[in-house]
C-alpha cells in the first residue's frame, strides 16, 4: 500500500486514467471526501422508510434553512438524503427530478425507484470516464416506493455504483453506525414483534434505531433534536406516499424514547 501511495501521485490527477494497480484514484478521493460529511442513516421498515441525518450547524450566525439541507424530495414517491458537497448534490438532484418528471410525462406513471437511482448513477459514472472532469463528491441515500417492489432503500457513491439496503449509513463514522445496525436491525427491541427470527421494524421502531445510530456516530455530542433531522416515508390510507420531516417536538419524543430504552436496558 505504501508504494502505491508514492506511485499514486502520477496517476491520481486524471479521473479518466487507471493506475497500474487498476484503481481510479480520483473516484476514491471523492469517496473519502464524503467520510467527512454529516452522517446519514437509512432504515427500511415494513411499513415505510426512515432517513435520519446529522445536522451540522457551522455557525450561530447562519440563517435557518427554510427547507432541509440534507433531505430532498425528488418526486411524489421518492426522496433522498445527501452526504458530501451540497453544491454537487444540487446538480444531481436536479437531474433526478428531471428524469422522474420526464418519465411521468412519457408513460403517465411514476418512475420505478431503481430506474431513477440508476439514471442518477449513470450520470455520476460518466464523470469518471469522460471529459476529464472531477467526479461528484456526493453519496446519496434514496428512499422510494413503487408498485412493483414496495418500499426500497438505495445507496450510491461518486463512482456511480449503487445497491439496495435494508439499513445502511453514509458519512462520518459510518463504520460505527453500520456495526450497530448489524447487531440491532431485526432484533425484537426495534420491532413490536417478539419473534426470535429477524423481522424488519415498523417505522416507529426504525426511528428509534436511527436515533440510536446517530447517537453513536455523533459520539461526543449530546443527542439533541436540533442536531438531527428525522425523515419518514409512509403510505396514507388512500395509498399515496407521504413525506414527513419530524418537527422539533416529534423528534424530541423519539430521542426521549431511546433514552428511556437505553436506561432500562441495563435492567434484567
Contact flags string 142-181 toward other proteins, x per CB under 8 A: -----xx---------------------------------
CA-to-CA separations, 231 to 9, 52, 188, 222, in angstroms, rounded: 41, 6, 22, 20
238 binds other proteins per the rule CB under 8 A: no
- Between 1 and 105, name the residue whose CB sits nearer to other proteins: 105
Contact stretch for other proteins (CB under 8 A) within 91-99, 107-115, 127-135, 205-213: 107-115
108 binds other proteins per the rule CB under 8 A: yes
Of 105, 194, 195, 238, the one binding other proteins by CB under 8 A: 105
Question: Phi and psi at residue 5, in whole multiples of 5°?
Answer: -65, -45
Cβ atoms of 54 and 217 closer than 8 Å: yes
122 binds other proteins per the rule CB under 8 A: no
Distance of closest approach, residue 151 Cβ to other proteins, in angstroms: 16
- Within 13 Å and on the Cβ side, how many CA atoms surround 127? 21
Rounded to whole angstroms, the Cα distance separating 265 from 261 reads 6
Of 21, 94, 109, 219, the one binding other proteins by CB under 8 A: 109
Residue 43 C-alpha cell reads as 432504515
Burial string for 128-152 (b: 16+ CB within 10 Å, else e) reads beeeeebbbbbbbbbbbbbeeeebb
End-to-end CA distance of the chain: 48
107 binds other proteins per the rule CB under 8 A: yes
Distance of closest approach, residue 147 Cβ to other proteins, in angstroms: 7
Distance of closest approach, residue 148 Cβ to other proteins, in angstroms: 6
Binding residues (CB under 8 A) for other proteins: these are: 105-109, 112, 114-115, 147-148
Amino acid at each position: 500500500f505504501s508504494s502505491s501511495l508514492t506511485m499514486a501521485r502520477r496517476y491520481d490527477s486524471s479521473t479518466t486514467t487507471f493506475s497500474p494497480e487498476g484503481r481510479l484514484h480520483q473516484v476514491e478521493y471523492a469517496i473519502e471526501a464524503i467520510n467527512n460529511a454529516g452522517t446519514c442513516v437509512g432504515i427500511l421498515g415494513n411499513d415505510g422508510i426512515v432517513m435520519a441525518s446529522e445536522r451540522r450547524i457551522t455557525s450561530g450566525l447562519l440563517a435557518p434553512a427554510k427547507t432541509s439541507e440534507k433531505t430532498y424530495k425528488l418526486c411524489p414517491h421518492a426522496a433522498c438524503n445527501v452526504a458530501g458537497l451540497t453544491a454537487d448534490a444540487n446538480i444531481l438532484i436536479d437531474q433526478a427530478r428531471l428524469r422522474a418528471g420526464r418519465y411521468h410525462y412519457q408513460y403517465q406513471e411514476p418512475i420505478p425507484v431503481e430506474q431513477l437511482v440508476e439514471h442518477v448513477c449513470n450520470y455520476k459514472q460518466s464523470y469518471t470516464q469522460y471529459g476529464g472532469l472531477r467526479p461528484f463528491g456526493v453519496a446519496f441515500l434514496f428512499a422510494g416506493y413503487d408498485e412493483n417492489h414496495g418500499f426500497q432503500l438505495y445507496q450510491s457513491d461518486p463512482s456511480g455504483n449503487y445497491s439496495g439496503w435494508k439499513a445502511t449509513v453514509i458519512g462520518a463514522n459510518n463504520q460505527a453506525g453500520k456495526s450497530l445496525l448489524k447487531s440491532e436491525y431485526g432484533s425484537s427491541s426495534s420491532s413490536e414483534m417478539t419473534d426470535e427470527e429477524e423481522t424488519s421494524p415498523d417505522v416507529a421502531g426504525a426511528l428509534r434505531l436511527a436515533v440510536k445510530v446517530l447517537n453513536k456516530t455523533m459520539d461526543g455530542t449530546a443527542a439533541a433534536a436540533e442536531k438531527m433531522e428525522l425523515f419518514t416515508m409512509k403510505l396514507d390510507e388512500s395509498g399515496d406516499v407521504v413525506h414527513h420531516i419530524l418537527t422539533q417536538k416529534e423528534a424530541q419524543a423519539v430521542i426521549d424514547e431511546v433514552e428511556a430504552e437505553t436506561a432500562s436496558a441495563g435492567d434484567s
